Homo-oligomer: A and B are copies of this chain.
Amino acid sequence: MSAVAVHGVGTSHFGRQPGRDLVGLAFDAVHEALADAGVDGVDAVWVGTVFGPAGVAQRVLRAMGVTGIPIVTVENACASGTTAFAEAHEAVRTGRYGRVLALGLEQMSTAFAGAITPEPTDPEGRSGLALPALYAMAAARYLHLGAVTPEQLAAVSVKNHAHALHNPRAQYSGRHTVEEVLASRMVADPLTLLQCCPTSDGAAAAVLAPATGGSREVAVRGVAMRSGAPWNHASPHVWGHDVVRDTAADAFAAAGLTGPSDVDVLEVHDAFTIGEIVTTEALGLAPPGGGGEAAAAGVTALGGAHPVNPSGGLLSRGHPLGATGLAQLAEITWQLRGEAAGRQVDGARIGVVETMGGGVSVLDGNACVVAVLEAP
């Protein structure tokens, strides 16, 4: 078994790019990741995508001359990119392949006019619940229980859009006020437009190989993957993200961490403001029902005790599903190398990536991946 390191990362720009195609977006990410790693090829590729066409991985990679090697597409809803990372990591760890590329990509702007259409055979689909509505129900329940206020929900949006001011690849950024966030167009009560991730196209990639002690290598301390329920119907803690809590416990144990206090910087799944709040609770950064208060108090902002989503998160960078997990991984890699410029968490040594393939089925059908990384 080998100790594994991230040797290079790369991403495309993120945003509505209907005039581009998956090949071009992927090229930007792969080219940058290979150059960043200082290599010109890999031994195998895992590609994460949700809505890419049949054979998408082979098609995209042969367009850049990558063929003859094992190439596998993986899909795990919003966690597809981190699933590709988990599989690439395992392949290097076990010596299956020497140097592996994990690539995530998605073009949402050409696939959907608005929110992702729920599957008609799912409970959500039968109920007509698209994802903003599902998250809105969770937010409404939190509000009803007094576990969050509208202003605390909005504070997540204010924070992440402000973080994105320093991320030139983000789709949106801005110095919004809580009042502006709450006054933006209502999408699914209580979630306003600025509390929902935008429709986005993009790609992100990472090169993994055995650790050699290089000065720019980010070590992979632990990776965990699970399926399960975001919502525990038997608990008064209405939206516990149990699958996030359990997956994080696995990853922290694999990494030898005692808990979230060991972590300096995190990129987590904030497709909607309530998502980040519940996730910070699931990760132990705030007590149950305390995530909103923590966000409003600046605990999860740059400069706070637990900086979350310095990139701007999905709310600002955008959320091209298959690309998201590897875009998060790229941000944490830059943070741990000290290359994150205006959004740098000073002296960050331990970083965490969390993605939940979430909400496509409200019952037990979610996927989650959590990775723990360490500075060179």
Contact = CB atoms under 8 A, between A and B. Distances in A.
A227 to B, nearest CB: 4
Contact of A226 (B55, B70, B116, B226): B70
B74 A58 contact: no
Interface stretch (A180-188, A298-306, A361-369): A361-369
Interface string A356-376: 010011011111000000000
Interface string A22-65: 00000000000000000000000000001101111111011000
A54 B77 CA distance: 6
Interface residues of A, number: 48
A70 B366 contact: no
A50 B21 CA distance: 20
A333 interface: no
A229 B58 CA distance: 10
Most chain B CB inside 10 Å of its own CB: which residue of A59, A72, A246: A72
A321 B54 CA distance: 11
A240 interface: no
Contacts of A87: 72, 87
Given A67-B365, A76-B73, A58 B226 contact: no
A360 B52 CA distance: 13
**Integer count of this chain's copies in the complex:** 2
Nearest to A119: B53
A72 B116 CA distance: 21
A227 B59 contact: no
Interface string A265-295: 0000000000000000000000000000000
Contacts of A227: 58, 61-62, 67-71
A94 interface: yes
Contacts of A69: 226-227
Contacts of A94: 90, 94, 96
A83 interface: yes
A252 B290 CA distance: 58
Contacts of A122: 59
A77 B71 CA distance: 11
A351 interface: no
Nearest to A250: B70
A217 interface: no
Contacts of A57: 75-76
Given A55-B119, A62-B365, 5 more contacts: A21-B121, A62-B361, A70-B225, A72-B76, A90-B91
